[in-house]
Amino acid sequence: MSPKSMLLMNPGPIAFESEVLAAFAHEGISHVDPAFIEVFGWCLEKMRHIFLADDGQPLIVAGSGTLGWDMVGANLLEAGDEVLVINTGPTYCGYFGDSFGTCLERYGANVTHLRAPIGSRPSIEALKDALRKPYKLITITHVDTSTGVLSDAAGYAAAIRAAQPDALVVLDGVCSLGGEELRTKAWDIDVVLTGSQKCIGVPAGLALLMLRPRALAEHSRLGHAKGAYYADWAHWLPIMKNYEARRPSYFATPAVNHFYALQKGFEILLANGGMEKRFEEQRNMSNAIKGALVALGCTFVPAAGMAANTLTCVRYPKGVTGPDFLPKVTARGVSLAGGLHKDIKMEYFRIGHMGQSTRIMEHAIRTINAIEAALIECGHVVETKGKAAALIKSHLKSTLPMSKRGCWSPCCGGRKCPVPLKCQLWSIGLVLAAFGAGVAVASRRK
């Protein structure tokens, strides 16, 4: 099967909008060209709307979301600082919470993990108990991509502020920002970091961070990053401020083409209801897919009420194995991800539903049909064939189109234009041709 015919339903990178990919293919342009400066500045301004942080300082730097971890460690920590990682599992828990903690240890932090069983998350009461000890910095992984657990970020942040109002709260939003409800300022989070390849809907290669006043003040007090050069905010903050003021600046060459794609990705996120609508779409799609999987006799890794909306982690039914099941799904034109958490890696698979896959029904139906057929071929009994796809249609029919129609266009207020661009151009051509013919006829009559 050709890559073009494969539907990518992994938990990142995701299937990108054609408009984003077209923008990504922008011709080469200098990073100090006035046209690019305008794009860079626009993206910085719109980040505040997407992160819901009007008092934040945005950073956009070439790199993956993991670069955000290094930036936090280098710019906010000193050797011996106490750090609490709110984790979503036992000895080897949330894959990414553990990795974030390991990264911060490289910068001299004394890291303590607050853990919970696999598929669960620490309770607010457990956090309050942990906060009897003072911490300089506390991290939250909003969505753990390895288990599909959604942290209670708002509840955690409120408990931290009540117990330790001056602690720095850092949220890893790589698998949440742009999809899950995330209110940076309202929840009083000091740093939110993410990558471009998931809910933002842009090819991998950008690290995006939002720094709020408490974090900026601590960075200013420390002066410069410890043991880092590229990751030093002292280099990057003047660059961001200059570009937002529409002034050229240089420390390291920005990923120019990524910014054109990011501009289009941000336009899509902010169109037709903005972030509130994106949160709603994400919840609706998640509920539809999870409901369909229950109809197929499947269960999930996350405990009830703790599952993320950006991905679904599904346990294999009895008698079904990953090496047998996943190739059968792939053969039907859908790409899913296997398990990631080492303790249960062979017990489950993962479905990503982010970006454009939350805005059209076809992706969900193709995915569920492929899963159903693969399960049956593996010997799993499905009581009513086609019921799962029918449930998705019933759940989403009033809110989503079956397939993508038209293009994202400012001429329609940022909504999907009902007339594709090629049809618009064809229509304009016909009008001009008719006008020309009319002028010619009128001239002859004279």
Gap between the Cα atoms of 323 and 342, Å rounded: 16
pLDDT value at residue 226: 82
Q: Is the pLDDT of residue 215 over 90?
A: yes
Confidence of residue 408 (pLDDT cuts 50, 70, 90): very low
Number of DSSP helices (H) and strands (E) in the chain, helices first: 14, 17
Tokens 């920590």 appear where?
77
User: What's the rounded mean pLDDT across residues 338-359?
Assistant: 95
Q: Is the pLDDT of residue 421 over 90?
A: no
Gap between the Cα atoms of 34 and 229, Å rounded: 28
Confidence of residue 4 (pLDDT cuts 50, 70, 90): low
User: What's the rounded mean pLDDT across residues 22-33?
Assistant: 96
Q: How much is the mean pLDDT over the chain?
A: 91
Nearest to 375 by CA among 331, 316, 313, 330: 316
* Termini Cα distance of the chain: 63
Question: Which tokens is 64 given?
Answer: 């993956």
Nearest to 252 by CA among 237, 271, 233, 235: 235
CATH number for the domain running over 18-270: 3.40.640.10
Q: Is the pLDDT of residue 39 over 60?
A: yes
Q: Structural domain boundaries of the chain? A: 18-270, 274-398
pLDDT value at residue 88: 79
Q: Which residues contact 33 (CB under 8 A, 6 or more apart)?
A: none
Superfamily of 274-398 according to CATH: Aspartate Aminotransferase, domain 1 (3.90.1150.10)
Peptide linkage before 13 cis (omega within 30 of 0) = yes
Gap between the Cα atoms of 175 and 275, Å rounded: 15
Look up the pTM and report it.
0.88
Tens of pLDDT, residue by residue over 61-98, are: 999 999 999 999 999 999 999 999 999 765 544 578 88
Tens of pLDDT, residue by residue over 251-295, are: 999 999 999 999 999 999 999 999 999 999 999 999 999 999 999
Confidence of residue 406 (pLDDT cuts 50, 70, 90): very low
pLDDT value at residue 3: 55
Strands 82-86 and 137-141: parallel
* Maximum alpha-carbon separation in the chain: 94
DSSP state of 137: E
pLDDT value at residue 194: 98
Confidence of residue 415 (pLDDT cuts 50, 70, 90): very low
pLDDT value at residue 418: 43
User: What's the rounded mean pLDDT across residues 301-313?
Assistant: 97
Question: Would residue 178 be called left, alpha or beta, if left means φ above 0 and alpha means ψ between -120 and 50 degrees?
Answer: left
User: What's the rounded mean pLDDT across residues 350-363?
Assistant: 95
Partnered with residue 171 across adjacent β-strands are 140, 192
Tens of pLDDT, residue by residue over 322-340, are: 999 999 999 999 999 999 9
Q: Is the pLDDT of residue 428 over 60?
A: no
Q: Is the pLDDT of residue 362 over 80?
A: yes
Which amino acid, one-letter code, is at 444? R
Tens of pLDDT, residue by residue over 368-380, are: 999 999 999 999 9
DSSP state of 311: E
pLDDT value at residue 225: 87
The 10 Å CB-count burial string (b at 16+, else e) for 201-240 is: bbbebbbbbbbbebbbebbeebeebbebebbbbebbbebb
